[in-house]
Amino acid sequence: MKSFGQLSEDLETRRQQLKQRQQQQVGGFKEKGAQVSQAAAERSSAQRERAKEAAERATAARDAIKQRRQAAQDARAEAEARKKEREDISKEIAASREEKNAEREQQKSTNDQKRMSKERAQEKRREAAQKAMREA
């Protein structure tokens, strides 16, 4: 059998061991809690990083779309300007052609009038000559 002194020493030892185990458990819980919170923080920061990268990709995609739209709009405007320029040139050519045709018509009309006038004058001279021959 144990004596009272041994029993109290055993109890004291057990208390100390219990206290030490409790402290170890508390330390373990704290460590686990810190690990859990650290893992959660890491997951959270990784998720934030992925969200940031996704936002950057989305922004880059939107910018690329805007640039393609702007390029297409610029190309349409340039094509429209070239088309208008070609139409203007065609109109100038048509106007020039019309002007030349009008000048030719006017020149032809003037030439016809001169020719008709000469023919009339010649006809009058012939008639006068014939009249003079009849009288003579």
CA dist 125 and 127 (Å) reads: 5
- Distance in angstroms (rounded) separating the CA atoms of residues 109 and 42: 99
CA dihedral 79, 83, 88, 93 (to 10 degrees): 130
pLDDT of residue 44: 95
Q: Could you list the pLDDT tens digit for every one of the 136 residues in the chain? A: 667 667 677 778 888 999 999 999 999 899 999 999 999 999 999 999 999 999 999 999 999 999 999 999 999 999 999 999 999 999 999 999 999 999 999 999 999 898 898 888 898 888 888 888 888 6
Task: Give the global pTM.
Answer: 0.47
